[in-house]
Amino acid sequence: MPKSVLVINCGSSSIKFALLLEDQNFRIHGLAENLGTPEARIKGVTVGNEPVDIRIPNADHKEALEVGLSRLATHKPDAIGHRVVHGGTLTKAELITDDIIEKIRAATPLAPLHNPAHLVGIEATQRLFPDLPQVAVFDTAFHQTMPAHAYRYAVPKFLYTEHNVRRYGFHGTSHAYVSERGSELAGSFKQGGWLVAHLGNGSSTCAVWNGESVDTSMGLTPLEGLVMGTRSGDVDPSMHSFLAKNLGWDIYKIDKMLNSQSGLLGLSDLSNDMRTLIEAAEQGNEDAALAIEVFCYRLAKSLAALSCGLPELNGVFFTGGIGENSAFIREKTMSYLPHFGFNLDKDINNNLKRGTEGRIDNGTGPQIWVVPTDEEGRIAKETATVVEHEVNQTVAKKSEQDIVAA
């Protein structure tokens, strides 16, 4: 089993990295943000809990990784785990080989904002640590337990059988960790029916029954589902033809609008950051107030819809940057779901320390929890499992060869 795992999460304009040592309480971690801009920088914590803050103006992913990982020089990891948003038809974490890299590249049309960045991260770490085992952990893998009636689109069958057009779902590492940890906190480890709301710049919901995903809000790509920071979420599919016919937009412009210029940013015409919008709404900005209302209503609507996949509903878990930190958004969302018997305790909700675990209902009805996600921990765990399996297979193969040779 690896004693230390380096976890890399390359996003479209940021990179999170963390070195998880055998003692899970200690992590060296960093965040490279605003990449490709003059404000690019790396912030984090290194050995001895020493803060790091390095300016890297206009740095791209490769440069940021090289600067960030150079800080780990004296703490070489035993293995590296990469978060990969879309694995296409891959169903579990995989040891990275040329074949797996090609499959990640082939899935790029399904996650154009993310997969290219993941490939940059893989290339950089292979160059910096050529002898280490590296593992890809896919956001889509946790949702491979969804039944066909949840993942098939009502489009011609050949699109599924010949082109893999289906619902995949994302944020799988987060939904897996939060549903597991949350059910443990609730005293029913991997048992019962739970709804998970992962809310950040990208947001999704998931229905989990006995520890397995049975439905989720994202689909073929991470654009389907909830209102997000810059993503529209669900829209009428005919919007594409409407914009093409009436505004003369091509498919690339429409795609960019729906992925990068919509969501909270599009509704508010101000920001994709929920904190900025709440502040603006408090000061009377009507567009910001509407963006928040649409976000919460659509979230509640999604949770209600996903509950159809559960034989019984034990409760809901809030996670992600918004879910963990915004009591206001949690309260507004739950206000749309009184018919489910939820009873949020406003005082407990408001007084829960930001970013901490806690139950926030009044003890009656389905439970309501805040469970901070730990995607890094989950990726490290899956990476260690894959590497250990690979080592065991190698040992077993060598033993067979020794027996034959004897």
Q: Which of 139, 215, 361, 374 is catalytic?
A: 139
pLDDT at 71: 72
Both tokens assigned to 70:
């150079």
Which CATH number describes the domain made up of 4-138+380-398? 3.30.420.40
> Is 139 a known active-site residue?
yes
Same fold, 4-138+380-398 and 172-373: yes
Superfamily of domain 172-373: ATPase, nucleotide binding domain (3.30.420.40)
Model pTM? Answer: 0.89
Query: pLDDT tens, position by position, for the chain (406 residues)?
Result: 678 999 999 877 788 889 987 765 678 888 998 888 899 999 988 776 778 899 999 998 888 888 887 776 567 789 999 999 999 878 899 999 999 999 999 999 888 878 998 998 899 889 888 999 999 999 999 999 999 999 999 999 999 999 889 999 999 999 999 999 999 999 999 999 999 999 999 999 999 999 999 999 999 988 999 999 999 999 999 999 999 999 999 999 999 999 999 999 999 999 999 999 999 999 999 999 999 999 999 999 999 999 999 999 999 999 999 999 999 999 999 999 999 999 999 999 999 999 899 999 999 999 999 999 999 999 999 999 999 998 878 766 666 665 655 5
Domain boundaries, the chain: 4-138+380-398, 172-373
Is residue 175 packed enough to be buried (19+ CB in 10 Å), middle (13-18) or exposed (0-12)? buried
pLDDT at 247: 98
Fill in the amino acid letter for 55. R
* CA gap 46, 21 in Å, rounded: 12
Give the Å distances, CA to CA, from 199 to 18, 36, 217. 21, 25, 12
Determine contact, residues 139/85, Cβ cutoff 8 Å.
Answer: yes
Positive or negative, the Cα torsion across 300, 303, 307, 312? negative
Q: What is the dihedral of CA 366, 369, 374, 380, to 10 degrees?
A: -40
Please write down the HEC assignment for all residues of 78-109: CEEEEEECCCCCCCCCEECCHHHHHHHHHCHH
Please tell me whether residue 310 adopts helix, strand or coil conformation. Answer: coil
